């Protein structure tokens, strides 16, 4: 049972790796707020959202259009997982990433646990503020 539970929530070998592009749900981490210009303003501290936040944030536009969340990386349980990697960040890095010094990175409450940082290091952090989880047109939902 423990093995099944670990696979479902993405904890393998005592790692607690987080996906920085997760859905709004009770227990997720609030990473930041989507600004009008489409960039993310990150929250400085790790904020775990609760049921009340989820309920209120679902009253307006979809929360993933207005906020960025992190939650356990589910690896092969995700449609973007291929060859033991997150293809979301791989594809974005191929198009947009540039080298950057550690001192130029945005604040991040999950960097030490971030799947994207584990795959690409500082390069992932340079593109992260540009990524919005929900890009579907409003009328699709």
Q: For every residue of the chain, which 3-state class applies, written as one string?
A: CHHHHHHHHCCCCCCCCEEEEECCCCCCEEEEEECCCCCEEEEEEEEECCHHHHHHHCCCCCHHHHEEEEEECCHHHCCCEECCEEHHHHHHHHHHCCCCCHHHCCCCCCHHHEHHHHHHCHHHHHHHHHCCCCCCCHHHC
- pLDDT-derived band at 3 (thresholds 50, 70, 90) equals very low
Choice between 1 and 20, residue whose per-residue pLDDT is larger: 20
Q: How far is CA 128 from the centre of its chain?
A: 9
pTM of the entire predicted model: 0.81
Give residue-wise pLDDT tens across range 94-105: 888 666 666 778
**Mean pLDDT (whole number) for 38-67:** 94
User: Does the pLDDT of residue 134 top 60, yes or no?
Assistant: yes
Q: Which residues contact 92 (CB under 8 A, 6 or more apart)?
A: 127, 130, 131
Give residue 8's pLDDT: 42
Give residue 132's pLDDT: 87
Choice between 1 and 37, residue whose per-residue pLDDT is larger: 37
Share of the chain above pLDDT 70, in %: 79
């Amino acid at each position: 049972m423990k093995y099944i539970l670990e696979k479902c929530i993405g904890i393998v070998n005592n790692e607690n790796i987080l996906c920085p592009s997760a859905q709004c749900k009770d227990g997720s981490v609030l990473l930041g707020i989507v600004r009008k210009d489409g960039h993310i303003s990150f929250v400085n501290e790790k904020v775990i959202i609760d049921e009340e936040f989820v309920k209120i944030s679902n009253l307006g536009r979809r929360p993933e259009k207005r906020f960025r969340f992190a939650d356990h990386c589910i690896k092969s349980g995700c449609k973007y997982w291929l060859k033991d990697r997150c293809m979301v960040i791989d594809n974005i890095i191929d198009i947009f990433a540039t080298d950057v010094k550690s001192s130029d990175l945005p604040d991040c409450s999950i960097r030490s646990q971030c799947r994207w940082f584990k795959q690409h290091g500082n390069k992932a952090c340079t593109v992260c503020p540009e990524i919005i989880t929900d890009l579907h047109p409003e009328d699709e939902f």
